[in-house]
């Protein structure tokens, strides 16, 4: 759907459209005080799930853009003007969010990683949930592309993971989803659910990761045990599988290196 039509649906004033970067899973536009996200063929429920995730983050003390309209065709949100990075403020926000203790693992609503829908529902046991609801669906979706790496990923699934307990997680927390905005940092494009904090930490240390200024304070506010640090490559496999699914075999060498680090 054309972004102007989404503004009309939301009964918001029309403004000249300016394409923005960051639309790997669709198109992103600025229209004056609004940001509009569209997709040429959006999976049913994807934008509504993003809106619910942004609301959950806001309830946990995370700054996010306000959502004005969410439908099956797109999302209309607040435009946050750019500002200077504030990594210490981000560290305080994320440490506070990760310390929240929900009752179980999973999410009752629909969950998407990009436009890939993950199984919803909750489970009290992390190992079962992680395998059945997160890794196995991505492994099945990428099996033909993985070749000999598929059985190597499978072989890791039976090995127990160290636990800290359920936490509220952003679910796709790489630097591109952190907005340096006036008034402080904000988070974008969530894949929110209740999982082990290590899922977020894995993405926060992948693809270059967040800068030292962030980690210096975050580790003081919420120290990372050595066994969790050692397990991060196993969680990074989750994100690399979805990159193989969307972007193809160019991610297989990194997946191989991550598998070697995980074993």
Which sequence positions are flagged as catalytic?
172
Contact indicator for 194, 121 with CB cutoff of 8 Å: no
Tracing tokens 């120290």 back to the chain, one arrives at 223
Strand, helix or coil at 112? strand
Strand, helix or coil at 201? helix
Contact indicator for 27, 41 with CB cutoff of 8 Å: no
The Cα-based distances of 11 to 19, 65, 74 in angstroms read 21, 18, 14
Residue 68: which of 45, 50, 46, 51 has the closest Cα?
Answer: 51
Residue 21: which of 172, 177, 174, 171 has the closest Cα?
Answer: 177
């Amino acid at each position: 759907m054309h972004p102007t039509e989404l503004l009309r649906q939301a009964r918001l004033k029309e403004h000249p459209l300016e394409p923005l970067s960051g639309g790997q899973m669709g198109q992103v536009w600025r229209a004056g005080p609004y940001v509009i996200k569209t997709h040429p063929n959006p999976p049913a429920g994807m934008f509504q799930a993003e809106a619910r995730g942004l609301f959950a983050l806001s309830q946990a003390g995370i700054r996010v853009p306000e959502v004005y309209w969410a439908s099956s065709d797109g999302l209309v949100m607040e435009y946050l003007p750019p500002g200077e990075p504030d990594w210490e403020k981000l560290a305080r926000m994320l440490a506070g969010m990760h310390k929240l203790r929900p009752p179980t693992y999973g999410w009752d609503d629909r969950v998407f990683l990009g436009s890939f829908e993950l199984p919803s529902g909750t489970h009290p046991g992390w190992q079962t949930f992680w395998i059945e609801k997160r890794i196995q669906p991505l492994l099945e979706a990428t099996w033909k592309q993985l070749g000999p790496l598929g059985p190597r990923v499978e072989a890791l699934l039976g090995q127990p993971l160290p636990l800290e307990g359920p936490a509220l997680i952003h679910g796709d927390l790489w630097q591109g989803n952190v907005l340096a905005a006036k008034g402080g940092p904000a988070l974008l494009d969530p894949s929110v659910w209740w999982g082990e904090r290590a899922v977020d930490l894995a993405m926060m240390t992948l693809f270059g990761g967040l800068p030292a200024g962030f980690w210096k304070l975050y580790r003081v506010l919420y120290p990372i045990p050595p066994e969790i640090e050692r397990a991060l490559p196993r969680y990074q496999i989750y994100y690399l599988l979805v990159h193989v699914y969307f972007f193809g075999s160019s991610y297989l060498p990194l997946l191989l290196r991550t598998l070697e680090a995980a074993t």
